[in-house]
Amino acid sequence: MLPSGGFFDPEKLKSEIQDLDTQVNNPNLWDNPDNARAILQKKSGLERTLNDLLALESEYQNLLELYEIAPDDPDVEHAIQNLAGAAHRAKFITLFREPADNNGAFLFIQAGAGGTEAQDWAQMLSRMYARWAERHGFATEVIEEHEGDTAGIKNITYRISGERAYGWLKNEIGVHRLVRISPFNANGKRQTSFASVDVWPDIDDTIEIEINDKDLRIDTYRASGAGGQHVNKTDSAVRITHIPTNTVVTCQNERSQIQNREMAMKMLRSKLYELEMQKRAEAEDAAKAAQKKIEWGSQIRNYVLYPYQLVKDVRTGVEKTDSDAVLDGDLDEFMLASLQQA
């Protein structure tokens, strides 16, 4: 058997699920609907976690038998390596405790001040997260993108679909700082650029968010395009402003104004949920809330490409010297450390 304790502790998970079962069977459960939904969501998440870990246990037992029969078989060796990778990723599973951790995510990247340099850096981050999502088998969809004036992008919004995408990404919120020799400077000077990352969960119908129509301002505008035949001839893009919180979401990449509005409303519900979670965190732990604030000059991670190569997370101290691998989506070590710290 795989060793119990640590991140793989099925008996502990079973005990927690049994405790939640007792609460679910309480006839007064729905006297407090919000609490009832939270209990059901937590129970569902723990059950998924237990099933995933038991699947790893079953695969381990199968490979153990195969290895005893054919220890030199390359296919068995390859399967063992794959299982080792899966076991490493499974360390994250038990750290996903919040109701929305098992959901997909919306990821927003915004170039900082600095024109072309910052916009190019935003595009590099965009590719980094797209490659990370690809490594995990997540589907990515561009909801909206604004190209830079000369190169790169001003901002982009991804919808990343997959089990626990939000749980993985939620601690990526913050400012990301790049130091490199500028490809846009004829003098070859070292340049520092900033871009911010925001993440909020792609919530489903099990998490209720009330939105009053009177609190919304909905604007339509012509979606930007690449020019020529791709320029949108109708006002299909949608911008929704939630007046009480001054939250703005936009969508322009769907085929029609109706579809853009539906996606924008979904993004708004998800964003308001994240704002509510941040308010609760602030009330419970001011230090934790401060960690999530996005302020220029208070970066969460530095990406140094010159005069040496080093990517370092300033919160956890995790660092990697293979910056090319990191920019190609090798982010798991940073994310695991942030989850463990949180």
pLDDT at 227 over 50: no
| Burial of 279 per CB tally in 10 Å (0-12, 13-18, 19+) | exposed
Q: Which of 99-113, 220-234, 300-314 is most confident?
A: 300-314
Confidence tier at 36 by pLDDT (50, 70, 90): confident
For residue 1, the model assigns a pLDDT of: 43
For residue 205, the model assigns a pLDDT of: 58
3-state percent helix, strand, coil for the chain, nearest multiple of 5: 45, 20, 30
Q: Which residue has the higher pLDDT, 126 or 208?
A: 126
Alpha helices in the chain (DSSP H): 10-24, 33-69, 74-90, 116-135, 165-169, 257-284, 286-292, 323-327, 332-341
pLDDT at 16 over 90: no
DSSP letter for 233, please. Answer: -
Segment 48-64, tens digit of pLDDT? 778 888 888 888 888 88
Segment 274-298, tens digit of pLDDT? 887 777 666 545 434 444 444 455 7
For residue 275, the model assigns a pLDDT of: 83
pLDDT at 270 over 90: no
For residue 88, the model assigns a pLDDT of: 72
For residue 124, the model assigns a pLDDT of: 97
What's the rounded Cα separation, in Å, for the pair 297 and 64? 51
CATH 3.90.340.10 describes domain 213-282: no
For residue 285, the model assigns a pLDDT of: 52
Domain parsing of the chain, residue ranges: 10-95, 104-203+294-341, 213-282
pLDDT at 77 over 60: yes
For residue 207, the model assigns a pLDDT of: 61
For residue 137, the model assigns a pLDDT of: 86
Topology of the domain covering 104-203+294-341? Alpha-Beta Plaits (3.30.70)
For residue 125, the model assigns a pLDDT of: 98
Confidence tier at 35 by pLDDT (50, 70, 90): confident
Mean pLDDT of 169-187: 90
Which residue from 92, 93, 133 is spatially nearest to 109, judged by alpha carbons? 133
For residue 228, the model assigns a pLDDT of: 40
Confidence tier at 71 by pLDDT (50, 70, 90): confident
Segment 128-150, tens digit of pLDDT? 999 999 998 899 999 999 999 88
| Average pLDDT in the chain | 83
Instruction: Work out the angle at residue 150's Cα, subtended by the Cα atoms of residues 238 and 125, and round it to the nearest 5 degrees.
Output: 70
